Amino acid sequence: MRLKLNLDYSTAYGEQLVLNVLTGLDDKVVRHAMSTRDGRLWTCEIEAPLGDASMDYYYSVERDGIMVRHEWLVMPHRLDPVSAAAHRCVAWDHWNDIPADSYLYSSAMTDCVARREMHPLLAAAGAATIVVKVRAPQLRTSERLVLVGRGKALGDWNPVKAFGMVEHNHNEWVTALDASTLEARQMEFKFGIASREQATSLVWENGDNRTITLPDLNAGEVLVYELTQAHFPLPPVKLAGTVVPIFSLRSERSFGVGDFGDLKRMIDWVAGTGQRALQVLPINDTTITGTWQDSYPYNSISIYALHPQYLDLNQLPPLHDALKAAQFEQLRQELNALPQIDYERVNNAKREYMQLLYAQEGTAVLKGEEFKTFFAANQDWLVPYAAFCHYRDLYGTATFGQWPDHRTFSDEERKAMSNPRARLYKEVAYWYFVQYFLDKQMRGAHERALDKHVVLKGDIPIGISRDGVEAWVEPKYFNLNGQAGAPPDAFSANGQNWGFPTYNWDAMLADGCSWWVKRFRKMSQYFDAYRIDHVLGFFRIWEIPIDAVHGLLGQFSPALGMSADEIRGYGLNFQEQFMTEPFIADWVIDRVFGPHARLVREQFLERSHDDIWHLRPEYDTQRKVEAAFAGKDSDDDRWVRDGLYALISDVLFVRDRKNPALFHPRISVQHDFVYETLYGADKEAFNRLYNDYFYRRNNDFWYHEAMKKLPKLVQATRMLVCAEDLGMVPDCVAWVMDELRILSLEIQSMPKDAKLTFGNLNNNPSRSVATISTHDMSTLRQWWDEDAERTQQYYSSVLWRGDAAPHPLPGWLATDIVRNHLNCPSMLTLLSLQDWMAIDEQLRLPDADAERINIPANPRHYWRYRMHLTIEQLMEANAFNTKIKDYITQSGRK
C-alpha cells in the first residue's frame, strides 16, 4: 500500500523533518526524509509495511544530519491495517510533544489503575474509508470512547446511537467509517465517554464541535485523521498508597525477612484498603561482605540481579530430606519471631537451603524450557553476575582489584559460562538457578499488583558499588577515583559519603545512555512506577576525593569552577595557599581538642610558623587518619580522630578536580575556623560569591547537563517517573522536572521555599508525591517528640490549635495530619506503613524509636526494621482498615 504522511510543523531554515518507522527490533528505525514547499507542511510517501500488523513511527528534526529534537517516544503514532483491498492511504498527523498529563499514559495508569483491554481496528465495510484517531487518557477501567455527531451515520447526536471506538494503543482510540455513508462533505461531531454496558448518557468532551472537511475518495483509498487530544470535565487522578521495604514485611510464613510472597500479601492489603500504590526500596543483590553491613539496599553489586533474601521458600519445591526440612522449619519459626531482622543468619540459612535445593532440582530446572527462555533473555547481565559471585566467594572478597586473577572478565569466560556443556557453566549455574526463581517470583508479585489495580513502585539508586559487577565488567562508565555523596543537610552536618564511584557521563552519552536505558527497561518488568533516588545526580553529583571520609571536601561535578581573578572580582582578597590548605592555629587546636591539644601537637602536627601548624604527611588526609585509628574506639580516640577530620576539611576553597587553577567554595565553611578568621568585609564578599556559586552560577549549565541525560531515560519505558528532589536544589531542577513531567517529592517538614518553616500542603503541585516521612527520616511519631519547640510551632501554625501540643503523639492528632496529606492536591500521597499505623494507638508499635529504618548520618547503620504485626494480623484489623479506606474515599482519592 502506498502511504502518504502529512505533518503541519513549522521549521527554521536548515532544518529537515524525518519520518522514523520503528522496526520492532530494539530501537532500530527506518528513516525517510520528508519534503516541504513552504517550511511548514511536510510530506513523505512510502510503501507502507502494513500487512497484518500495525506501523509505529515518530517524527524528528535534523540539522546537518544530526537530530536536534524528536517527538515524545513513549507514545509513537500508530497506523493499523484497514483493508486488504486498500491500495492508498493518506494520513494527517500532528507533532506530539510530552503532554502535560503524560502520567495518564504511564503503565501505572494504563496497566494498573485504569486497566483496559486493547483491540485492533476493525475495517469498515465500504470501498473507501475514513479513519478517525484521538487520544483520550481520562477514561477509567469500565469506560469506553464513542463518537457522535450530525447525520445518520454518526448517530444524529443521539448518545444511544453513538459510534463505538476501539482502543488500539494505550489511551488512543480509533474508528473506521464507510465514506459512502457520510451524508455531507463536512463531518461535525464530538467525542464522549460512555460506560462499557450502555451509552444512554455521555460525558461530553470540552470545547466546540469538531469538524473535518472531506475530499473526494476513490475505491481502495483510506483517509486517516489524527486529531488533537480529547479533554473531559473530570477531576484529576489522585491516588493513595503505602511505602514499606520488602525486607520489613512480616507474615506467618516468612523466613525472618520479608520476601516476594509477602509482597503479594501486602498488595492484597493495599488493594483491600482502597489504596492504589505500594512503594518499596531497592531490591537488588547487595552481597559484598556476607555480613550485616550488606543490609544497606542502595549499595548493590548488580543493577539487575535480585537479592536472594527475597526468595519465598514456600513457592519452591519442598526439600526431600525430611530431617533437613524440619530443621529449616524450626529455624524459620525462630528467625520469624525476632523483632528485627538478623541479616546474617537469615541470608546464611536461605543460601544453605537453596544449595540443597539446587543439588536436588538444579539439573531438571536448568533443562526446562522456561529456564532456557529466562536465560536467553537475561544472559547479558546474568553471566557476568554469576561469574562475579563465583570469584567473590572463591577469593573471599568482592574487591576485584584484590583478586589474584580474573580482574577483568574475558569473552572466553563469558562464552564458556553460557555453554551448558562447559565446566565453567557448571561452576556458576547455581546463581542462574537462584536468579531464575527470584525473577519468576517477582514477576508473579507484579502480576498480582496488575490484577488488583495496584501500582507497584520501585526505587532506582543513584550509585553503584565500586565492588560490584558493573564496575568490574564496564569500568569505562565510572570514575573509580572519586566518591559520590551528598553535601551537608538536615540529615548529616558533615555531608554524606556513599562511597559509590561517580559516572563517566562522556562515555555514557557517547552510546546514547544505553547502560541506563537497559537498566530502566529491566526494572519495567517488575514495576509500573519508580523513584529516581537523588535526581540531582543527573544535574551534578557531589564528588568527594578518594582520600576523604566526610563529604565536606566535595565539589559538584560537573560545575563551573572559579579562577583567582573571578574570586577577587567579588572583593575577596584571595590568598591561594591560606585559603586552600587547612587553617590550623593554636587557638583552633585548643578549641577542638581541649585536654588532648598537647598530644595532637606532638603526634600529628608540625609547626609552620608562629602559631600556625600543618599536618604531618602521614596524617594529612582523612583516609590516613581513619587508618591510623582503625580498631581504636574509646571516647578519647574518637574525639581526636574526629577533630583531625575537622582540621583537614577547614579550608575556604577546594581545587577543581580537573583544573587545579580553578576553585570551588567549600560547602558550609561558614561554620568553620578559616571563615571565622576573615574580616567582616571579606565575609560579606565570600557570602555573595558562595550564594552565586551554589544557587545561580551553574543553573543554565546544569539544566543542559540534565537535558542531555534525563529525556532518554524517562522515555525509555512507560513507567511513571517520580524523583527525590530534596536537599540543596538549584532552580534548574524544577525547570527540567516540569519540562519532562517528572513528579516531585513534597514533605511538609522540609519545604522547598527557604523562607518557610513548614510547607503549605494546599500549595503542593498536582504533579507530585506527598509524604510525611521517608526511610531516611524519623517517622511521624519520632519527629513529634524530637523537638518540642518545633512541634509546638507546627501544632499552632499548621494545625491551628491554641493549646499545648500533646506528647507523645495521640492517634487522633496523627489522624488529622494523615488526612491533611490525603486532602492535598498531590497526585500521589504515599505514606510509610509506620505513619499509617500512627493513627491507631492500639495497633501501632509502642516504641516509636523502633520504627526507624535508616539514620543517614551513620554510614554503618544496620537496616533491619520489620513490621511488628504480621500481614495476616493487619488484614484482620478491620477497624483500622475501614478507617483508611474511608479517609481515602472522603479525600477524593481512588
> Element (H or E) spanning 565, and its range?
helix 564-569
Q: How far is CA 490 from CA 623, 720, 804, in A?
A: 25, 28, 26
Average pLDDT (566-582) is 95
26 pLDDT band (50/70/90 cuts)? Answer: confident
pLDDT at 256 > cutoff 80:
yes
**Per-residue pLDDT tens over the stretch 608-620:** 999 999 999 999 9
pLDDT at 513 > cutoff 70:
yes
As given in the structure block, the three cell numbers for residue 380 are: 547479558
pLDDT at 809: 98
Half-sphere exposure (CA, 13 Å, Cβ side) for 81? 11
51 pLDDT band (50/70/90 cuts)? Answer: low
pLDDT at 265 > cutoff 70:
yes
Is 17:59 a contact under the CB 8 Å cutoff?
yes
Chain-centroid distance of CA 276 in Å reads 18
Average pLDDT (565-587) is 95
pLDDT at 50 > cutoff 70:
no
CA-wise closest residue to 358 among 371, 345, 346: 371
Q: Given phi > 0 = left and psi -120 to 50 = alpha, else beta, which region is 278?
A: beta
**Per-residue pLDDT tens over the stretch 179-228:** 989 988 899 999 999 998 876 789 999 999 999 999 999 999 999 999 99
Is 300:285 a contact under the CB 8 Å cutoff?
yes
CA-wise closest residue to 128 among 93, 78, 165, 88: 88
Is 868:244 a contact under the CB 8 Å cutoff?
no
As given in the structure block, the three cell numbers for residue 399 are: 574487591
pLDDT at 457: 98
CA–CA dist 3, 17 (Å, integer):
17
pLDDT at 185: 86
**Per-residue pLDDT tens over the stretch 269-292:** 999 999 999 999 999 999 999 999
Residues of 143-163 as b/e, b for ≥16 C-beta within 10 angstroms?
Answer: bbbbbbbbbebbbeeebeebb
**Per-residue pLDDT tens over the stretch 696-722:** 999 999 999 999 999 999 999 999 999
Average pLDDT (145-162) is 94
Torsion sign across C-alpha atoms 856, 858, 860, 863: negative
**Per-residue pLDDT tens over the stretch 154-182:** 999 999 999 899 999 999 999 999 998 99
Instruction: Look at the block and give the residue holding cell 516509636.
Output: 848
Q: How far is CA 669 from CA 542, 647, 683, 856, in A?
A: 16, 12, 11, 21
